[in-house]
Structure 1
Amino acid sequence: MTPIEIDRRSLLVAGAAGAGTLTLGLGDPEPAEAATAGNRYFRHGVASGDPHPTSVILWTRLTPTPDATPGSGRGPRVAVRWQVARDRRFTDVVATGAFTTSARRDHTVKLEATGLRPRTTYYYRFLYRGLASPVGRTRTAPAATASPDHLRFGVVSCANLQAGYFAAYRHLARRDDLDAVIHLGDYFYEYAPGEYGAGNDNQDVRRHVPAHEIVTLADYRQRHAQYKRDHDLQALHATAPFIVTWDDHETTNDAYRAGAENHQPATEGDWFERKARARRAYDEWMPVRMGDTVDLGDGTALYRRLRFGTLAELSMLDLRTYRSKQAQILADGTVSDPERTITGHAQMRWLKQSLTQNRTQWKLVGNPVMISPVVFPPFPQDVTSAVNDVTGLLPEDGAPYNVDQWDGYTADRREVFRHLADHGVKDTVFLTGDIHSAWACDLPLDAGTYPTESGRSVATEFVCTSVTSNNLDDITGSPRRTTSLGVEAAIQTSNRHIKYLNFDDHGFSVLDVSSRRTQMDYYVVADRTDPRSPASWTASWATRANSQQVHPVDHPVGGR
Structure 2
Amino acid sequence: MPESNVRRRTVLATGAAGPAFAGTALGAGASYADRPDHTLFQHGVASGDPKPRRVVLWTRVTPTTQATPGSGKGPQVTVTWQVAKDATLGKVVREGTFVTSASRDHTVKVDATRLEPETWYYYRFLVGKHSSPVGRTRTAPARGATPANLRFGVVSCANLQAGWFAAYRHLAARDDLHAVLHLGDYLYEYGGEGSYAMGRENKRIRAHVPDREMVSLADYRQRHAQYKSDPDLRALHAKAPFIVTWDDHEVTNDQWRDGAENHQPDEGDYLVRRARAHRAYDEWMPVRLDDTARLGDGTRLFRRLRFGKLAELSMLDLRTYRDEQVHTKAPSPVPALEAEVSNPDRTILGAAQLAWLKDSLLPGRPQWKIVGNPVMVAPVSFAQLPTELVDPVNDVTGILPRDGAPYNVDQWDGYTDDRREIFTHIRDHGMRDVVFLTGDIHSAWACDLPFDLATYPLGQSAGVEFVSTSVTSNNLKDITGAPARTASLAVEATIMANNRHIKYLNFDDHGYSVFDLTPARAQMDYYVISDRADARATASWTASWATMSGTNKVHAVDQPVEGR
TM interval, shorter chain, is over 0.9
Residues 368-407 of structure 1, C-alpha deviations (whole Å, 9 max, x = no match): 0000000012221111111012122100101110000000
- Give the whole-Å Cα distance in 2 for the aligned partners of 1:377 and 1:429: 27
User: Relative to structure 1, is the Cα distance of residues 91 and 203 closer, same or farther in structure 2, using a 3 angstrom cutoff?
Assistant: same
Contact 2:168 2:232 in 1 (8 A): yes
User: Relative to structure 1, is the Cα distance of residues 38 and 139 closer, same or farther in structure 2, using a 3 angstrom cutoff?
Assistant: farther
Residues 190-227 of structure 1, C-alpha deviations (whole Å, 9 max, x = no match): 00133110001101000000010000000000000000
Contact 2:38 2:65 in 1 (8 A): no
SS at match of 1:279: helix
- Give the whole-Å Cα distance in 1 for the aligned partners of 2:437 and 2:233: 21
Contact 1:21 1:131 in 2 (8 A): no
Structure 2 equivalent of residue 244 of structure 1: 244
Structure 2 equivalent of residue 189 of structure 1: 188
Q: 1:315-464 maps to which residues of 2 (within 5 A)? A: 315-329=314-328, 330-453=336-459, 456-464=460-468
Contact 2:13 2:89 in 1 (8 A): no
- What amino acid does structure 2 have at the position aligned with 1:355? L
Q: Note the C-alpha offset of 1:293.
A: 1.3
Residues 22-76 of structure 1, C-alpha deviations (whole Å, 9 max, x = no match): 46999xxxxxxxxx96970000000000000000000000000110000000000
Q: Note the C-alpha offset of 1:559.
A: 7.8
Structure 2 equivalent of residue 21 of structure 1: 16
- Give the whole-Å Cα distance in 2 for the aligned partners of 1:202 and 1:493: 32
Contact 2:363 2:431 in 1 (8 A): no
Structure 1 equivalent of residue 31 of structure 2: none
**Counterpart selection for 1:553 from 541, 557, 562:** 557
- What amino acid does structure 1 have at the position aligned with 2:480? T
User: Relative to structure 1, is the Cα distance of residues 37 and 91 closer, same or farther in structure 2, using a 3 angstrom cutoff?
Assistant: farther
Which piece of structure 1 moves more, 97-106 or 36-45?
Answer: 36-45
Structure 1 equivalent of residue 481 of structure 2: 477
Q: Note the C-alpha offset of 1:21.
A: 2.0
**Counterpart selection for 2:504 from 500, 505, 524:** 500
Contact 1:18 1:132 in 2 (8 A): no
**Counterpart selection for 1:525 from 520, 523, 529:** 529
- What amino acid does structure 1 have at the position aligned with 2:202? N
Which piece of structure 1 moves more, 344-353 or 389-398?
Answer: 389-398
- What amino acid does structure 1 have at the position aligned with 2:216? T
SS at match of 2:226: helix
- Give the whole-Å Cα distance in 1 for the aligned partners of 2:166 and 2:281: 23
User: Relative to structure 1, is the Cα distance of residues 25 and 549 closer, same or farther in structure 2, using a 3 angstrom cutoff?
Assistant: farther
SS at match of 2:262: coil
- Give the whole-Å Cα distance in 1 for the aligned partners of 2:135 and 2:528: 26
Residues 135-182 of structure 1, C-alpha deviations (whole Å, 9 max, x = no match): 000000000000001000000000000000000000000001111000
- Give the whole-Å Cα distance in 2 for the aligned partners of 1:357 and 1:347: 19
Q: 1:128-277 maps to which residues of 2 (within 5 A)? A: 128-193=127-192, 194-265=194-265, 267-277=266-276
SS at match of 2:99: strand
Contact 2:157 2:472 in 1 (8 A): yes
TM-score (norm 1): 0.93
SS at match of 2:187: coil
Structure 1 equivalent of residue 313 of structure 2: 314
Q: Note the C-alpha offset of 1:357.
A: 4.5
- Give the whole-Å Cα distance in 2 for the aligned partners of 1:507 and 1:200: 20
- Give the whole-Å Cα distance in 2 for the aligned partners of 1:544 and 1:386: 38
**Counterpart selection for 2:514 from 494, 499, 510:** 510
Contact 2:80 2:127 in 1 (8 A): yes
- What amino acid does structure 2 have at the position aligned with 1:496? R
Q: Note the C-alpha offset of 1:327.
A: 0.5
Residues 402-450 of structure 1, C-alpha deviations (whole Å, 9 max, x = no match): 0000000000010011110111000000000000000000000010010
- What amino acid does structure 1 have at the position aligned with 2:425? H
SS at match of 1:96: strand
TM-score (norm 2): 0.93
Contact 1:208 1:223 in 2 (8 A): yes
- What amino acid does structure 1 have at the position aligned with 2:380? V
Contact 1:78 1:102 in 2 (8 A): yes
Q: Note the C-alpha offset of 1:95.
A: 0.3
Contact 1:49 1:243 in 2 (8 A): yes
Structure 2 equivalent of residue 33 of structure 1: none
- Give the whole-Å Cα distance in 1 for the aligned partners of 2:38 and 2:238: 14
Contact 1:177 1:559 in 2 (8 A): no
Contact 1:437 1:504 in 2 (8 A): yes
- What amino acid does structure 1 have at the position aligned with 2:16? T
- What amino acid does structure 2 have at the position aligned with 1:341? T
Listed as ranges, the gaps of 5+ residues in structure 1 are 1-16, 27-35
SS at match of 1:40: coil
Question: Hey, which bits of structure 1, 4+ residues long, moved more than 4 A?
Answer: 17-20, 22-26, 36-39
User: Relative to structure 1, is the Cα distance of residues 73 and 501 closer, same or farther in structure 2, using a 3 angstrom cutoff?
Assistant: same
SS at match of 2:151: strand
- Give the whole-Å Cα distance in 1 for the aligned partners of 2:72 and 2:14: 30
- Give the whole-Å Cα distance in 2 for the aligned partners of 1:39 and 1:500: 49
The number of residue pairs the alignment matches comes to: 532
SS at match of 2:204: coil
- Give the whole-Å Cα distance in 1 for the aligned partners of 2:169 and 2:38: 20
Percent identity over the alignment is: 66
Contact 2:13 2:90 in 1 (8 A): no
SS at match of 2:503: strand
Q: Note the C-alpha offset of 1:332.
A: 2.5
- Give the whole-Å Cα distance in 2 for the aligned partners of 1:308 and 1:475: 40
- Give the whole-Å Cα distance in 1 for the aligned partners of 2:38 and 2:234: 12
Residues 295-335 of structure 1, C-alpha deviations (whole Å, 9 max, x = no match): 11111110000000000000000000000000122322000
Q: Note the C-alpha offset of 1:358.
A: 2.3
1:541 aligns with 2:545: yes
- What amino acid does structure 2 have at the position aligned with 1:431? L
Contact 1:38 1:134 in 2 (8 A): no
SS at match of 1:272: helix
1:280 aligns with 2:275: no
- What amino acid does structure 2 have at the position aligned with 1:21? A
1:289 aligns with 2:284: no
- What amino acid does structure 2 have at the position aligned with 1:132? S
- Give the whole-Å Cα distance in 1 for the aligned partners of 2:89 and 2:282: 29
SS at match of 1:458: strand
Contact 2:291 2:303 in 1 (8 A): no
- Give the whole-Å Cα distance in 2 for the aligned partners of 1:501 and 1:93: 47
1:96 aligns with 2:102: no
- Give the whole-Å Cα distance in 2 for the aligned partners of 1:458 and 1:258: 31
Aligned-CA RMSD value:
1.5
SS at match of 2:233: helix
- What amino acid does structure 2 have at the position aligned with 1:509? S
Structure 2 equivalent of residue 466 of structure 1: 470
Contact 2:443 2:510 in 1 (8 A): yes
